[in-house]
Amino acid sequence: MASFPLAVKMVMIDLDGTMIDTVPDLAAAANRMLADLGRPAWGIEHYRAWIGNGVPRFVKRALTGEMQAEPDPELFEQALGPFRRHYGEAVSNLSRPYPGVVEALEQLTDQGYSLACITNKAEAFTLPLLKNLELHKYFKLVLSGDSLPKQKPDPLPLQHACRHFGIDTAHGVLVGDSSNDVHAARAAGMPVICVTYGYNHGHDIRQSLPDAVVDSLMEVPQYLKLYV
């Protein structure tokens, strides 16, 4: 485990479940997609457990009701396009930043850290969401799920961000909400702080052994000091 305060220059922050509660819009889009197919809707708590591995897997979970099951390929192809359309039309209608997120971003920026948003969400949804909720201005780099050949839990996005800012991986920190974030950070050789809320498939994030656990992004700055 890392020792605190962490000496870092860059703070990478996950999007869904860490900065923004996106479930309401994702659930609404998925249920509209299911209605198009003549299938019954799911309750919002199902969708909370299904977020975190990108749009295709999310759609497959909505179709099957299971985490790793594979739906009929033809059905999946019929579903994916309508889901993307429905979600793209309403990506920020109901989604909102969690309490303390804007204040934390302001504080981290004022303290001199470079901020990057690293998410598995497709860019077509990531950028409008950040811009519509006026969060885009805080980030010097945004890496979406389709920005690079691999996404979290692969370390590539984290390594790419470090190269972008010209720093060693030890001088970055990832803030996330899921085991994906912990695995990506460990593989990249950097510390990771996780929030207690968010989307971790119904599991307590403490089981994944992040370096620290916080109830609000407002707590993150106390774990950091600027590396110079």
Please list, in sequence order, all residues whose beta carbon lies within 8 angstroms of the beta carbon of residue 185, skipping any fewer than 6 positions away: 155, 158, 173, 174, 176, 191, 192, 210
CA dist 49 and 45 (Å) reads 7
Burial 34-72 (b: 16+ CB within 10 A, else e): beeeeeeebeeeebbebbbbbbeebbbbbbeeeeeeebe
Of residues 14, 21, 181, 211, which has the active-site annotation? 14
181 as an active site residue: the answer is: no
The closest of 173, 138, 127 to 9, measured between CA atoms, is 173
CA dist 148 and 24 (Å) reads 27
Roughly how many angstroms between the first and final C-alpha of the chain, as a whole number? 22
Which two tokens mark 168?
A: 């060693």
Which two tokens mark 86?
A: 């429905």
CA dist 198 and 74 (Å) reads 32
CA dist 113 and 11 (Å) reads 7
CA dist 61 and 70 (Å) reads 8
Catalytic residue annotation = 14
